[in-house]
Amino acid sequence: MSRETLIAFLLSETGHSEELEVLEEIKKLGGTTLVITNRADSRARAAADLLVELGADGSEAARLPLYLITGELMRLYTELKKGLDPDRPRNLSRVVVLADEDSSERPKHAAI
């Protein structure tokens, strides 16, 4: 593992202490750590190279979409840095359309 290896941690409240142990171990091995959490404690701050602190109210399950936004932004900027077109991903040229079971008409835009 090197500094060029980015490991993203989605720290939960339910498994927080166990997840922190893994985070600290990865940090000791030399990886770059991105921590996404609702509220970071001192251990998470010390082990995070990059920190996204959501600070949102509500249940843990209700906050899941906020974690996904950070992952999508990572994907977008990684693709742009590599010179890829995020609007035309490689190997995704086919479309699958699920028709209504009651419909006897086949969709005209299905490419399979």
> Domain map of the chain by residue range?
6-81
pLDDT per position as a tens digit, 7-52: 889 898 888 899 999 999 989 988 889 999 999 999 999 999 999 9
CA–CA distance, 7 with 22 (Å, rounded to integer): 11
The whole-model pTM stands at: 0.67
* pLDDT for res 99: 64
pLDDT of residue 23: 92
- Quote the CA–CA distance of 69 and 85 in Å, as a whole number: 19
**Cα angle 74-76-80, degrees, rounded to a multiple of 5:** 115
| pLDDT over threshold 60, residue 109 | no
- Cα(8)–Cα(71) distance, rounded to whole angstroms? 9
Helices (H) and strands (E) in the chain, counts: 3, 3
